[in-house]
Chains A and B, each alone.
Chain A
Amino acid sequence: MKKFMNDPADVVAQALAGVAAAHPELRVDVAERFITRAAGPRPGKVGLVSGGGSGHEPLHGGFVGPGMLDAACPGEIFTSPVPDQILAATRAADGGAGVVHVVKNYTGDVMNFQLAAELAADEGISVRTVLVDDDVAVEDSTWTAGRRGTGATLLVEKIAGARAEEGGGLAEVAAIGQEVNTSSGSFAYALRAGTTPAAGRPGFELPEDEIEAGVGIHGEPGRRREPMRPAKDLVRSGLDAILAAKPFPGPVIVLVNGLGGTPLIELYLVFGEVAAYLAQRGVRIARQLVGNYVTSLDMAGMSLTLCQAGDEMIRLWDAPVRTPGLRWGA
């Protein structure tokens, strides 16, 4: 393992210190482990809080700022934050109108956010939770912990964040976030697993001519191992899986997301294939985003996300956003 670090145990804290140094518009509480807007909560505005394990940067801390999140709480690498930390972030985001938690559907995240929401309720803070579970590679059945939250988390945070910024109430902000989730589907491929600083070696080994299909964002292996194929074939298989899981009759927002170790030249090549295949399948692209947003440390790979988006969702997608990780119109 070669990583830019000083001690594997201190990576998260030292990275947070770096975020604090780089972004004076944010307030980073390195000890309590949360990031908020430096200006603090706006009275009367619904607060939007997310969090999860570290290693997915810029998710979530990189999405704190006007038009998106009010606070983020990063856990240890690939480990959900603890209830105290989520509660501290929730307090820091509360402008008196309640707080929406955006939670990716993983057992640990769900439990810790649930415990934090109960603690917040005891303090008189109303909390609504939007659970993100867009990954169609996992069967949603009694055999699994349910579908995972992946690429659609960015869309939920952007669109619900825009609704909160323009004065939406607690129920409205939660409802639009939930709608984005139910309108989205994602599928990912890994070419090489990421390496956590604690483990020091990749989460799984892949021969040169094989890939993991239906992989998650925590270094866990995917649903199956497949032979490596041209990008055109992989994009078709991935999109077929998404289109088979959910109907996409109207225009879509497309996210081609790098998992941390794949260069942009490949992601743009993939987007070209996505655009061509969706045109062939009669799916109109309304908006698109290409880049590394929901990553898995240094995993080489990419995820495809489609979100069925009506005019209102597209308006909120286009609304100004000013965060370290996503910035337009502001």
Chain B
Amino acid sequence: MDAALAGDWMRAAAAAVAAGAGRLTELDTAIGDGDHGANLHRGFTAVVAALTESPPQTVSEVLVKAGTTLMSRVGGASGPLYGTALRAAGKALPATPTVEPAELAAALHAGLAAVRRLGGAAPGDKTMVDAYAPALDAFETAVAGGAGLGAAAQAAAGAARAGAEATVPMRARKGRASYLGERSIGHQDPGAASTGLFFAALAEVSQAHPRHAD
């Protein structure tokens, strides 16, 4: 992956969030306060503007800049959580023009660790972690098996989507949905759903890129 592809990833995520904002808001209305779609849309619009204004030269810089922008523009819980994930991932990458899939796997790992540290959520708590953790597992397994970025990202996207769907029967233990207790059961977690979009965006851009689509 190079900085251009990382920038495309953020732009694809922004487009997916824009297209899915209505659904995210609907999910958040059921068990939260109905603003997840609008908040992420505002944040990723700002990310695209920031990356376009002064395009970074490395993948690391792209992710750090995207994370910093989300942290300072989104608010709520999703701003710090997505912000810290991208910043931690970016900081874990070498400052080289391109990074290998194994390096990206390690960066995604650092991002998940940062999210769990900040939010205190574990798998099963009905949060973004329930999509992120299986996506990372799938990505790491694919890379360890010799897959390229495109195939690994495809596996991660599938696992993230399945992980998000698996939050439906869970009872929320973190965030605003936890106030509902048993009544949070039966709804998909909006943070897990948006994490699914984020990994789907990675799969989309790396497959569209012939050099990575193996």
What residues of chain A have their CB less than 8 Å away from a CB belonging to chain B? 53, 75-84, 106-108, 111-112, 115, 137-139, 142-145, 148, 196, 198-199, 203-204, 216, 218-224
Contact = CB atoms under 8 A, between A and B. Distances in A.
Interface in B68-100: 71-81
B106 to A, nearest CB: 25
Nearest to B21: A198
A107 to B, nearest CB: 4
B125 to A, nearest CB: 10
Contacts of A219: 33-34
B178 A144 contact: yes
Given A108-B80, A111-B118, A143-B171, A220 B35 contact: no
B176 A145 contact: yes
Given A108-B75, A111-B118, A138-B179, A220 B32 contact: yes
B169 interface: no
B75 A196 contact: no
B119 A144 contact: no
B211 to A, nearest CB: 37
B35 to A, nearest CB: 6
Given A82-B73, A107-B174, A111-B118, 10 more contacts: A78-B35, A79-B74, A79-B75, A82-B71, A107-B77, A107-B176, A108-B75, A139-B181, A145-B176, A198-B25
Interface in B169-187: 171, 173-181, 183
B176 A218 contact: yes
A198 B119 contact: no
Interface of B: 25, 29, 31-35, 38-39, 42, 71-81, 118-119, 171, 173-181, 183
A79 B174 contact: no
A233 to B, nearest CB: 23
B118 to A, nearest CB: 6
Contacts of B32: 218, 220
A216 B179 contact: yes
A304 to B, nearest CB: 18
13 contacts: A77-B35, A106-B176, A107-B174, A112-B75, A112-B80, A115-B80, A144-B179, A145-B178, A198-B35, A199-B29, A203-B34, A219-B33, A221-B31
A78 B178 CA distance: 17
Given A143-B171, A219-B33, A82 B119 contact: no
A82 B76 CA distance: 8
Contacts of B181: 139, 143-144, 223
User: Top 7 A-B pairs ranked by shortest CB distance?
Assistant: A108-B77, A108-B76, A111-B80, A218-B33, A144-B178, A79-B76, A107-B77
Contacts of A144: 173, 178-179, 181
Contacts of A224: 183
Contacts, number: 114
Interface centre among B25, B77, B179, B181 (most CB of A within 10 A): B179
A106 B181 CA distance: 16
Contacts of A223: 179-181, 183
B115 to A, nearest CB: 11
A105 to B, nearest CB: 11
A218 B75 CA distance: 15
B71 to A, nearest CB: 7
A196 B35 contact: yes
Contact of A203 (B29, B73, B74, B76): B29
A223 B35 CA distance: 20
A224 B183 CA distance: 8
A313 B78 CA distance: 37
Given A77-B35, A111-B118, A82 B72 contact: yes
Given A79-B75, A83-B71, A198 B34 contact: yes
A221 B176 contact: no
Nearest to B171: A143
B151 to A, nearest CB: 35
Contacts of A139: 181
Given A107-B176, A198-B34, A79 B80 contact: no
A82 B34 contact: no
Contacts of A198: 25, 34-35, 38
A86 to B, nearest CB: 10
B28 to A, nearest CB: 9
A220 B175 CA distance: 11
A200 to B, nearest CB: 10
Interface centre among B33, B38, B74, B78 (most CB of A within 10 A): B33
Contacts of B179: 137-138, 144-145, 148, 216, 220, 222-223
A301 to B, nearest CB: 15
A76 B38 CA distance: 10
A81 B77 CA distance: 10
